[in-house]
Structure 1
Amino acid sequence: MSAMRSDMLDVPGARLYHEVRGSGPLLLVLQGGEGDAERTKGLVARLDRDHTVVTYDRRGLSRSVPGDPGALITVERHADDVHRLLAALTTEPALLLGSSYGGLIGLALASRHPEQVGTLVVHEPPALSLLTPGARADADAVLARLEETYRDEGWGAAFKMLAEVTGAGFADREPDVELPPPVSRERIANMHFFFTHDIPATRHCELDVPAIAALKGTSTRVVPAAGRTTARGFFDHACAEELALLLGTEVAEFPGGHNGLTSHPKAFAARLREVFDAAV
């Protein structure tokens, strides 16, 4: 991995911690779940030789502490943070990889600031606005149970349920993948924020679907993506399929499952390059 530069960016109501590595076209990674700037180190190490890779702590996670920790934080607020972060780093359209909740944020950004987005790869986003009413109600019920489980039984039970819902795990992984370290107090704090702020924000997010549909055929390229081994019944996979229908394209298949960014970083990076190169 190349040398890392870190900095803080002042945004309304918070300071955003971010890291920059490598050189070349700017690539911003939008993490899913409670992942912070360090979540995808294995993937970043395989991309920073020909990209300027930016990762950051989403507002409320790790070093990006909001001024009012109890304030409501929406997907739109996260998207505005990303808009300001990109504006501080480049004047050119950027490459973006959004995973899960990060993909939802990426879609909100692209609908509001398409001029900042060159190609956005949206990997299994919980974009419930794209689902049929029945499918959305089913997905919302799952997310509500996650909130309830966290509230009643704590992070351990909620995290186990989340892994079961998403199918994420490391039983299927590349042989040299570094397994996650023991859960730290910082990560537990991040889980608290995710379960109490970001999951409710997911449930209540209303994407500007017409604005996303209008990106079809423009210079802002949105690529729906899903893991090869992700269960087809998982609602994030269904969201990727619905996004593909909306944009008149196909779902790009990536190695691994919902957490393929961390379980298969080498193959995931290679596939990501293929997708980016297809836009050239």
Structure 2
Amino acid sequence: MTDPAVGTLRVNGATLHYEVRGRGPLLLLIPGGTGGAASFDGIADDLAGAYTVATYDPRGMSRSTLDDPEAEQHVAEHAEDAFRLLDRLSPGEPARVFGASSGAIVAVHMLTTRPERVARVVAHEPPLVEVLPDAAEHRALVARVRETFRTQGLMPAMAVLAAGLSKDGGATAPEAGTGLPPRAAARAERTMADLPYFVGRIVPGFMTHAPDLSRLEALSDRLVLACGEDSRGELPHRATAFLAERLGTKLRYFPGGHIGLTTHPAAFGACLQKALCD
């Protein structure tokens, strides 16, 4: 594994930690959940053979600190952070962007708001549940997660969220590090530390975000929507497949499930390489 160049970037209300590897056109990788830049350790070196690969911890996660730790989080502000990184690392040149889960929501928003800065977006299972016909049901899920977190704490709220995302409503919150490759398991402590922020700030702010569908239709030739081979029926997969059908675009399948990036890094990275070039 190559040691990346590490930097910090001051943005509105936060200081971002970012890492850069490789040479070539810029590829910005936006993590989902509580992964941070480290979630891309399994694929970044391979991608750096063809791209300048930039990874970062989103505001409030891991090493990217907030001025106000209690601040509400919004997709537009996270997208502006990503644009600030593009301006620093690739000024004036459109970049390729990959996002996973909540990071994919940010990537899609970037495409619709400043398409001149984005050459291609690959979005893996963005939980854009507002596009679904039963969106009201999922808004109610977000409200239950938030109330459970407030009244019962983190793990009960995680269980409510996991059940709502699953195929049959019967999932429970996973144990950190269970069944993961060693490098991913080693990140479990940091992941657990970020979970309260994710459940309390990211889930409410992101899962109620509605994309600009008319703009996406006009820009669909630059958008690749991808799902996990093993996540059919789960809520993020449903939302992504519905969006692909709505836009009339082909849905790509990547190995593993919603966290295939973590469980199948080599095969996932190979699929991403292909999606960036096709």
Q: TM-score range by the shorter chain?
A: 0.7 to 0.9
- What is the deviation of 1:162? 4.4
Change over 3 Å in CA distance of 1:182–1:153 after alignment to 2: farther
Cα deviation digits, residues 67-121 of structure 1 (max 9, x gap) = 1222222111111111111111103211111111001111111110111111111
Gaps of 5+ in 2: none
Aligned to 1:37: 37
Change over 3 Å in CA distance of 1:162–1:263 after alignment to 2: farther
Aligned to 1:180: 185
- What is the deviation of 1:241? 1.3
- What is the deviation of 1:208? 1.8
Cα deviation digits, residues 207-234 of structure 1 (max 9, x gap) = 22211122134xxx101100001032x2
Aligned to 1:224: 225
Aligned to 1:85: 85
Structure 2 residue corresponding to 1:201, chosen from 186, 202, 205: 205
Q: Is the 8 A contact 1:101 1:125 kept in 2?
A: yes
The answer to whether the aligner puts 1:69 opposite 2:69 as a matched pair is yes
The answer to whether the aligner puts 1:3 opposite 2:8 as a matched pair is no
- CA–CA distance in 2 between the matches of 1:182 and 1:262? 11
SS at match of 1:225: strand
Give the letter for the 2:23 counterpart.
S
- What is the deviation of 1:182? 6.8
**Where do residues 130-209 of structure 1 align in structure 2 (5 Å cutoff)?**
130-132=131-133, 135-163=134-162, 165=165, 178-181=183-186, 183-184=188-189, 186-209=190-213
Gaps of 5+ in 1: none
- What is the deviation of 1:26? 1.5
Normalising by structure 1, report the TM-score. Answer: 0.87
Aligned to 1:27: 27
Where do 4+ consecutive residues of structure 1 move more than 4 Å?
A: 160-164, 166-173
- CA–CA distance in 2 between the matches of 1:255 and 1:39? 16
- CA–CA distance in 1 between the matches of 2:40 and 2:6? 16
Q: Is the 8 A contact 1:43 1:262 kept in 2?
A: no
Aligned to 2:125: 124
Cα deviation digits, residues 170-224 of structure 1 (max 9, x gap) = 8887xx664412743x43341111111111102432322211122134xxx1011
User: Alignment RMSD, CA only?
Assistant: 2.3
Change over 3 Å in CA distance of 1:26–1:16 after alignment to 2: same
- CA–CA distance in 2 between the matches of 1:51 and 1:242? 31
Larger deviation, residues 156-165 vs 202-211: 156-165
- What is the deviation of 1:49? 2.3
Give the letter for the 1:119 counterpart.
R
Normalising by structure 2, report the TM-score. Answer: 0.88
- CA–CA distance in 2 between the matches of 1:71 and 1:161? 23
- CA–CA distance in 2 between the matches of 1:160 and 1:42? 28
- CA–CA distance in 2 between the matches of 1:270 and 1:35? 20
